[in-house]
Amino acid sequence: MAGFLKILFRNLLNGPSTDPYPMGPTFSPQRIRGRAKVDPNLCMGCGMCRYSCTAGAINIAHLPDGSGYTITIWQNSCCRCASCRHYCPTGAMSVTDDWHSAHPEKDKFNRLEQQTIKYTPCADCGALMRPVPAHLAQRLYAENKEIDTEKIRHICPKCRRIEDAKRTARRLLTPAPEPMKAAELTSPRPQDTR
Ligand code: SF4
Ligand code: SF4
């Protein structure tokens, strides 16, 4: 009896060891997969997330006037698999730690993550397009220092192909350096004379 009272008083002094949820706040475990979210600044409308979504929870619809598109994630269909985040090439898709999903019946069709994203004109030809995110352009063209990544990310795929062809032509038409003279070839290199 004394042991029981000891434990009882110790627990009373320590207070509750469970959260008061749903009457009060609780915590989000680290690395929990909650609500999927799309960053409109990074999304290019490639459709990879829709293609890879195991639950068919993502839709991409073009605006009637062709000025952009709307990407929608149906939260009530999403099974939190994070496949969209895994396959998104730009990092636009993320899975937040918002795991709350209780909602009134009347809201079941309103639980959407939705972004309407507008196209911008290509810097060269004016065709409507989505700019390549800056971090992606820097990675794509990291090995080619002659490319202005800030410019190229604002031109459409067709104009990028034209730019690429021009660069190739310049490279092919640039005269090759003079062949080394026989005397240079036979003279000892500095390290050979040490
Ligand atoms: S969120 Fe990512 S995968 Fe989905 S359309 Fe946008 S860029 Fe493509
Ligand atoms: S987390 Fe899975 S089910 Fe949810 S939107 Fe992404 S791919 Fe679809």
* Mean pLDDT of the residues in the chain: 89
Helix (H, G, I), strand (E, B) or coil at 70: strand
Within 13 A of 32's CA, how many CA atoms are on the CB side? Answer: 11
Helix (H, G, I), strand (E, B) or coil at 8: helix
- How far apart are the CA of 129 and the centre of ligand 1, in A? 14
Residue of minimum CA distance from atom 2 in ligand 2: 81
- How far apart are the CA of 41 and the centre of ligand 2, in A? 20
pLDDT digits (tens, 9 = 90+) for 68-117: 999 999 999 999 999 999 999 999 999 999 988 889 999 988 899 999 99
Peptide bond connecting 22 to the previous residue in cis, omega within 30 degrees of 0? yes
Which pair of tokens denotes residue 52? 């890879």
Q: Taking the domains of the chain in order of start, what are their residue ranges?
A: 29-118, 119-174
What CA–CA distance (Å, rounded) separates 151 from 178? 34
What CA–CA distance (Å, rounded) separates 49 from 136? 17
pLDDT digits (tens, 9 = 90+) for 130-157: 999 999 999 998 988 888 999 999 999 9
Average pLDDT over residues 43-48: 96
Residue of minimum CA distance from atom 6 in ligand 2: 84
CATH code for the part of the protein at 29-118: 3.30.70.3270
Would you tell me how many other CB atoms lie within 10 Å of the CB of residue 45?
Answer: 17
